[in-house]
Homo-oligomer: A and B are copies of this chain.
């Protein structure tokens, strides 16, 4: 739908046309269309959305748009929307809302729902409890398929998913039945015979990343959430799991590039927010580069004695940095996918050492020839002797080995100590490896060239 045409219709008060457009569009697209409108038009357009779709559209809107609408809603409108919202969406709504609107919302939900909301709001951020919904289909083990189907027909319409049904006994989960099983089994078969009793479940405090991993490992559509007493309290659905996978990857990528993660899309963050997410790391890394400066200054005399050495500093530092960040980023991702754990650290280091040895030998050989042919012969840098060339290449090889070992072990140690391993990616590793590579370089220069 073209926003301009839609706006024109709205301004020309062609409400019938607007309503028929909104009738055929899906909730997600309506929400993005509404995001383009001005404040007053937004309220007007929202009121023209068919009743059965309004809550879905509302759930898809940004927190800012939701707040705008809640502020102008009549009590009646607010109550209608809140009645139709799923529990998890209601909780999301409250998390982003200014305090006065939170009060308004809580006044307009039933007491039972308010109690549930309060419980959900208290689960730790990023836990299964904080993303679950409390509406699911529960069945009794002594029902038949036909009874279960008629139970679903009566109650299912208000549940976020009806495709996995949960067999409860005294609030404890005893089995799982899929809608597929119900639909392809004869009416008189008891649920007890049909249900799966090997159940994959999570606890309310399970980290959402772990929950998402279960979805991708076991191809689930929903996973039951149990409380500390093993009672079933809700489900996480696959659409939320996909969002978690996407968000966690974005968060890891940001942190790896030395950016504090923000949740909003690129253009929705203000310049100040973006600056705030980037400056602390830049500042920290800049100040920590003082060490590399100190190392260079300590070897001033060596550099003065053989000016050619300075020219190779960037190449050495960059190659070391790249080698280190290859190892660290590989390990960070492998840990986040659950492929590698801390107990594997020696296996990892051993593997990285062998990879590093291959990289070191190949890069050092190519570099030796390159320096001789290009830098000395082609660019006529007569400062470069065979010995200087040798010093550069040996330093390169040793540095690569160190970089890979530091690069693979730091993220694993970080995780062991309870930090986010993604912090130990390129920028951080680069700073450490820079200092290491200079120390190695100057040590070889001093001993082999006899200077400094």
* A residues at B contact (CB < 8 Å): 24-26, 28, 149, 152-153, 156-157, 161-163, 179-180, 183-184, 197-198, 200, 215-219, 221, 238-239, 241-243, 245-246, 249-250, 252-254, 256-259, 265-267, 271-272, 274-275, 278-279, 281-283, 285-287, 289-290, 292-294, 296-297, 300, 303-304, 307-308, 310-315, 317-319, 321-323, 325-326, 328-331, 333-334, 337, 339-340, 344, 347-348, 351, 354-355, 358-359, 362-363, 366-367, 370, 374-375, 379, 381, 425-427, 430-431, 434, 438
Contacts and interface: CB of A to CB of B under 8 A. Distances in A.
Contact of A325 (B308, B323, B347, B427): B427
Nearest to A32: B217
Q: How many copies does the complex hold?
A: 2
Contacts of A161: 180
Contacts of A153: 183-184
A337 B250 contact: yes
A289 B266 contact: no
A25 B217 CA distance: 14
A253 B254 contact: no
Contacts of A329: 253-254, 256-257, 259
A51 B105 CA distance: 54
Q: Which of A24, A163, A259, A282 counts the most chain B CB atoms within 10 A?
A: A282
Contacts of A149: 183
Contact of A317 (B317, B379, B427): B317
A297 B381 contact: yes
Contact of A282 (B197, B241, B275, B363): B363
A439 to B, nearest CB: 12
B313 A296 contact: yes
A326 B259 contact: yes
A282 B322 contact: yes
A319 B216 CA distance: 38
A7 to B, nearest CB: 20
A283 to B, nearest CB: 6
B198 A26 contact: yes
A190 to B, nearest CB: 17
A351 B287 contact: no
Nearest to A186: B153
A271 B358 contact: yes
Contacts of A310: 296, 300, 303, 310
A76 to B, nearest CB: 26
Contacts of A294: 311, 379
Contacts of A197: 24
Q: Which of A300, A326, A344, A348 counts the most chain B CB atoms within 10 A?
A: A326
30 contacts: A24-B198, A25-B198, A179-B183, A245-B249, A250-B333, A257-B325, A266-B340, A266-B348, A267-B340, A271-B354, A278-B326, A278-B355, A282-B319, A282-B322, A282-B323, A282-B359, A285-B319, A286-B318, A292-B318, A293-B314, A294-B379, A296-B310, A297-B308, A300-B311, A303-B307, A313-B313, A313-B314, A318-B427, A318-B434, A322-B430
A337 B245 contact: no
A278 B235 CA distance: 42
A322 B355 contact: no
A434 B315 CA distance: 10
B267 A351 contact: yes
Contacts of A275: 355, 358-359
Q: Which of A217, A271, A367 counts the most chain B CB atoms within 10 A?
A: A271
Contacts of A427: 318, 322, 325
Contacts of A307: 300, 303-304
Contacts of A279: 358-359, 362-363
Contacts of A254: 329-330, 333
Nearest to A238: B238
Contact of A375 (B290, B347, B366, B375): B290
A139 to B, nearest CB: 13
A331 to B, nearest CB: 7
Q: Which of A153, A318, A321, A348 counts the most chain B CB atoms within 10 A?
A: A318
A304 B179 CA distance: 78
A318 B156 contact: no
